[in-house]
Every structure is written in C-alpha cells, then in structure tokens.
C-alpha cells in the first residue's frame, strides 16, 4: 500500500471518528425498508401492519381532531381558525371552478380532494418531526392513487351519467376507447410514482445529511425537503385529481356543443 492510500485511509477513519459515521449504506437501508409494527391475527392468518399504515392512522386521528377544532363555532364574520378554514375551502373551490366545475359540482368534489390534500400534507411533513413518512412505501402511494382515480370515475358518472362517460372515452372516435381506459391505468401509475419518487428521494437525502452532517444543515434543508416539498407534492396530487374530473366534464361539454352545431347545421324539412 502506497503512502497516498495510507493517507486517505487514515483521513477516512478520522472523518468517521469526528462525525461518528458508520456504515452509511446499512443505516439508510434500515431506515427505508418498511418495518412491521405489529401483526393482526385474522381467520388463522397473520397480517403484518407496516409503519406506513400506523403513521397513516395517526394522521387520520390528527385530521379528525383538527376537524373538531376548526369545524365548529362558525360566525357570520369569520376570524381566527374560521378564516383559515374558509381560506382553504376557497382555494380548493377556485381550483375546481378553474377546471370548469359548477358550484354544485364543486361542493361535491371539495370534501374529497380537501381530505386527500390534508392527509398527504400531514403524512409528508411527518418527516420534519422525525417520523418516517408513509409515502416512502410504494404501497401507500398506489393505494392513494387508486382511490383518487376511482373517485374521478365515480364522480364522472354522477356528473355526466353513463352516456357522458362513454362520450368522454370515445371522443373523438370510438377506436380510442381502449387507449382511454389505458390512460386511467397510466394515471394511477403517474400519481403514485410521482408522489413516491419525490418523497422517497427527499427522505433518502435528508437521512444521508443527518448521518454525515448531523448539526445545523439538516434543519435548514429540512425546511424544503421535509416541509415545503411535502406540501408541494400534496398540492400537485390534488390538482391532478381535480384536473382529471375537469377533463371528463370538458369532453362532455364538447360533445354537447358539437351535437348542437350539427343540429343547427342540419337542413330543416
């Protein structure tokens, strides 16, 4: 071994001693692998309950408590927590209306997208207080994505009916129906992978920083990667869900307008 190699080996050992760096790969692997918190015995089967599920339950309990606090004692002139509540509802309502939803349709969509937005936000920023975010588990992300796309299809049927949904799938020609159905599957993948990739990547980066530089820098970077990025991903997920509903309505409106034009252009007898 040359003096240069011995120098770097000594330097590496000294840095590891100063910053208490062990096997970084092993430490990060231990943090990112889903952990089974406990098991539920059901019909002779032992069902593992991973940490993502436990954290999600905790977030749901927090949301329920927040709903009790922020959803009562409304006054004609809003103030305090009522201002915050109405502000959030106003933002979601504006988002829905910008995607061609009527007031009545907005009232039906806002409760769902608002709940999903708050769930994802609180779950994502849990890493800011040292709790592993559920979105680092791909199963959690796919579950939310499937739920959102199923809601989009369900609410589409409610808004435009079976005939309108068929027109949204078969526009402009019937041969595109298989591709439209495939598009819904791709939307599930897109929503899930976008959420998982961003949260998982940020979590890995922050865990690496906490191991290598445990003082100061994690707190600064955490303001973005743990807090701001978590809120941003919730906003993107919510926006895309509302946009998918708007696409169904837009396709239905386009079909109605085209039918009117054909009717007006047809010669009268």
pLDDT one-digit tens code per residue, 207-246? 666 666 655 555 556 556 667 777 888 889 999 999 999 8
Work out the average pLDDT over 165-178.
82
Name the percent of the chain lying above pLDDT 70: 74
Over the chain, what is the mean pLDDT? 79
Question: Residue written as tokens 């590891």?
Answer: 16
pLDDT at 38 over 90: no
SS3 call for 118: helix
**pLDDT grade for 258, boundaries at 50, 70 and 90:** low
Nearest 5°: the CA angle 175, 183, 255 is 55
SS3 call for 202: helix
Nearest 5°: the CA angle 198, 202, 205 is 145
pLDDT digits (tens, 9 = 90+) for 99-123: 888 899 999 999 999 999 999 999 8
CA 212 to chain centre: 29
Cis preceding-peptide flag for 172 (omega within 30 of 0): yes
How do the domains of the chain map onto residue ranges? 1-33, 36-265
pLDDT at 147 over 90: yes
Q: Are residues 56 and 45 in contact, defined by beta-carbon separation less than 8 angstroms?
A: no
What token pair was written down for 12? 């590496």
Work out the average pLDDT over 190-219.
74
Q: Where would I find the H helices in the chain?
A: 3-19, 24-32, 51-70, 81-98, 103-124, 138-170, 177-212, 217-222, 229-265
Strand partners, 45: 42
What token pair was written down for 96? 């829905």
Cβ-based neighbour number of residue 52 at 10 Å: 23
Q: What is the pLDDT of residue 174?
A: 76
Strand partners, 42: 45
Q: What is the pLDDT of residue 149?
A: 94
Q: What is the pLDDT of residue 32?
A: 62
pLDDT at 7 over 60: no
CA distances from 165 to 182, 248, 249 (A): 15, 7, 9
Higher-pLDDT residue of 208, 203 = 203
Work out the average pLDDT over 125-134.
81
Q: What is the pLDDT of residue 189?
A: 93
pLDDT at 36 over 70: yes
Work out the average pLDDT over 181-198.
91
């Amino acid at each position: 071994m040359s003096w240069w190699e011995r120098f770097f080996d000594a330097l590496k050992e000294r840095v590891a001693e100063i910053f208490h760096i062990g096997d970084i790969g092993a430490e990060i692997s231990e943090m990112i692998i889903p952990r089974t918190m406990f098991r539920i015995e059901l019909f002779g089967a032992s069902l593992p309950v991973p940490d993502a599920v436990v954290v999600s339950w905790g977030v749901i309990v927090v949301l329920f408590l927040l709903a009790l606090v922020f959803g009562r004692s409304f006054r004609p002139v809003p103030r305090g927590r009522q201002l915050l509540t109405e502000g959030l509802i106003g933002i979601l309502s504006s988002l829905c209306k910008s995607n061609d939803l009527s007031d009545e349709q907005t009232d039906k969509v806002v409760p769902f997208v608002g709940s999903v937005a708050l769930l994802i936000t609180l779950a994502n920023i849990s890493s800011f207080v040292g709790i592993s975010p559920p979105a680092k588990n791909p199963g959690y992300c796919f579950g939310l994505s499937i739920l959102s796309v199923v809601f989009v299809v369900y609410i589409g049927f409610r808004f435009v009916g079976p005939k309108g949904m068929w027109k949204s799938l078969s526009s402009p020609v019937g041969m595109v129906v298989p591709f439209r159905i495939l598009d819904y599957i791709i939307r599930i993948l897109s929503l899930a992978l976008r959420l998982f990739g961003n949260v998982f990547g940020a979590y890995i980066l922050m865990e690496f920083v906490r191991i290598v530089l445990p003082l100061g820098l994690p707190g600064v970077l955490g303001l973005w990667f743990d807090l701001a990025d978590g809120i941003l991903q919730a906003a993107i997920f919510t926006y895309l869900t509302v946009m998918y509903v708007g696409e169904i309505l837009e396709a239905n409106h386009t079909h109605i307008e085209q039918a009117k034009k054909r009717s007006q252009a047809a010669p009268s007898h």
